[in-house]
């Protein structure tokens, strides 16, 4: 089984906890860590250890190691044995730890999910693109469309990873050729998006990508633009979904996927 090499400095205890991996593999299904409680406590709090902590300071979970999937490496017995280990190709970026909450931005009452810590960490960013590719690996798409501007940050590398082209959906007046446009409502305010009329050929299957879905207004506008020119929206993929905002009212019939969900 193909694997990736992980140096000691970038390995935290969560990287080799089978239950953590099981939870990630099940993507929020019924699996729970019997030792550490909820997935959030388990993946984000209990297992993070500072790089360079002594082996004694890092507890090894007392879980049957055969919970690891077939093909994975034997478990390390101590942190000092983690100088270089091969881990199976299972997404394992701790995305939650790389997205910070900024309260009352850009206006009071909004908790802004700031992705810049994720962007500045090359391993986390690459892992995030890997996870997005994994999330849509069952789909056959002709192109990825991303919404300005944070949709470009994730959509373009994802398109490259999938081996398809990227279509920019932009704010008004930015695209030089003939455009179609669509107004939409944000969690804060309203805006319009545009796309080149010739960006998509009739019948092409498009994956829409953005950093976050809140009200679903931006994503819905992107879908309408694509459909205006004869394209089909196969799926919408996000790094973050704010599930406590009822975006389903706008996109309930569509295939919407996300790496991180805030309920
Ligand atoms: P919406 O149209 O309400 O689904 O909003 C989605 C767009 O607005 C995305 O492009 C996000 O980048 C941005 N956005 C909306 N709400 C937030 C938030 N709470 N934190 C970060 N970005 C947000």
Considering 68, 86, 109, which residue would you say is the last residue of a domain?
A: 68
Distance CA 186, CA 45 (A): 32
Is the domain of 122 the same as that of 185? yes
- Contacts of residue 212, defined as CB under 8 A and 6 or more positions apart, other chains included, come to 113, 115, 150, 238, 239, 240, 241, 242
* The pLDDT of residue 197 is above 50: yes
Mean pLDDT for 180-197 is 86
Question: φ and ψ at 29, to 5 degrees?
Answer: -70, -165
What's the total number of domains in the chain? 2
pLDDT of residue 233: 98
The reply to whether 163 falls in a domain is yes
Q: Whose CA is nearest to atom 3 of ligand 1?
A: 215
The token pair at 108 is 């009071």
Q: State the catalytic residues.
A: 150, 187
- Ligand 1 centroid distance, CA of 249 (Å): 16
Task: Provide the mean pLDDT of the chain.
Answer: 75
Is the domain of 46 the same as that of 122? no
Is the domain of 100 the same as that of 19? no
- Ligand 1 centroid distance, CA of 112 (Å): 8
Mutational pocket test of ligand 1: of 187, 209, 245, the residue with most ligand atoms within 8 Å of the beta carbon: 187
Is the domain of 201 the same as that of 116? yes
The reply to whether 118 falls in a domain is yes
Residue entry with tokens 């960490």? 121
pLDDT digit string, tens, across residues 52-67: 333 344 444 444 333 3
What's 76's DSSP letter? P
The reply to whether 73 falls in a domain is no
- Ligand 1 centroid distance, CA of 127 (Å): 22
* The pLDDT of residue 86 is above 60: no
Q: What is the CATH number of the domain that holds 134?
A: 3.40.50.2020
Q: Whose CA is nearest to atom 13 of ligand 1?
A: 212
* The pLDDT of residue 246 is above 50: yes
Q: Which residues line ligand 1 (CB under 6 A)?
A: 110-113, 147, 150, 186-187, 210-219, 247
- Ligand 1 centroid distance, CA of 207 (Å): 18
Q: Whose CA is nearest to atom 18 of ligand 1?
A: 112
Instruction: Give the residue with greater pLDDT, 252 vs 80.
Output: 252
Let me know: does 135 contact 236? Beta carbons within 8 Å. no
Is the domain of 21 the same as that of 119? no
Measured between alpha carbons, how far is residue 209 from residues 7, 84, 154 in Å?
31, 34, 7
The reply to whether 54 falls in a domain is yes
Least confident of 56-65, 209-218, 223-232: 56-65
- Contacts of residue 37, defined as CB under 8 A and 6 or more positions apart, other chains included, come to none
Query: What is the share, in percent, of the chain residues with pLDDT greater than 90?
Result: 60
pLDDT of residue 31: 33
The reply to whether 88 falls in a domain is no
Is the domain of 157 the same as that of 215? yes
Is the domain of 151 the same as that of 49? no
Domain of 109? 95-262
Identify the three-state secondary structure at position 131. Answer: helix
Helix, strand, coil percentages for the chain (3-state, nearest 5): 30, 25, 40
């Amino acid at each position: 089984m193909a694997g990736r090499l992980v140096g000691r400095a970038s390995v935290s205890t969560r990287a080799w906890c089978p239950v953590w991996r099981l939870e990630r593999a099940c993507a929020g299904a019924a699996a729970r860590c019997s030792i550490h409680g909820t997935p959030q406590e388990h993946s984000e709090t209990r297992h993070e250890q500072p790089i360079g902590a002594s082996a004694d300071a890092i507890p090894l979970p007392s879980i049957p190691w055969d919970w690891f999937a077939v093909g994975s490496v034997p478990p390390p017995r101590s942190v000092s044995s983690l100088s270089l280990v091969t881990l199976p190709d299972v997404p394992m970026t701790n995305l939650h730890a790389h997205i910070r909450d900024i309260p009352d931005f850009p206006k009071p009452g909004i908790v802004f999910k700031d992705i810049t810590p994720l962007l500045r960490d090359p391993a986390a960013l690459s892992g995030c693109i890997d996870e997005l590719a994994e999330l849509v690996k069952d789909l056959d798409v002709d192109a990825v469309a991303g919404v300005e501007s944070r949709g470009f940050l994730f959509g373009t590398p994802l398109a490259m990873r999938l081996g398809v082209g990227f279509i920019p959906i932009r704010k008004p007046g930015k695209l030089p050729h003939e455009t179609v446009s669509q107004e939409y409502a944000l969690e804060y305010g309203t805006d319009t998006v545009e796309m080149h009329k010739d960006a998509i050929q009739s019948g092409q299957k498009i994956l829409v990508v953005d950093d976050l879905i809140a009200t679903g207004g931006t994503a819905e506008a992107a879908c309408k633009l694509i459909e205006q020119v004869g394209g089909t929206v196969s799926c919408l993929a996000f790094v973050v979904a704010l599930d406590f905002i009822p975006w389903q009212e706008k996109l309930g019939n569509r295939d919407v996927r996300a790496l991180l969900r805030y309920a």
